[in-house]
Amino acid sequence: MNKDQVKGRVNEAAGKVKEVAGKATGSTSTEIKGAAQKIAGKTQAAYGDAKEKAQK
């Protein structure tokens, strides 16, 4: 597992938490920021997955 995979999955999880917190508190701004962070984390994790696959 490389650093992009780890960072991506951490960002994905943090984004999900932020998104749920935004929904719970009624904060659309926090919800949108969380969704964006989650998508960025998925993208980074996918990049890390592809990078690791290419090295094999």
3-state secondary structure labels for all residues of the chain:
CCHHHHHHHHHHHHHHHHHHHHHHHCCHHHHHHHHHHHHHHHHHHHHHHHHHHHHC
Q: How confident is the model at residue 56 (pLDDT cuts 50, 70, 90)?
A: confident
Q: Which pTM value belongs to this model? A: 0.89
**pLDDT tens digits along 4-42:** 999 999 999 999 999 999 999 999 999 999 999 999 999
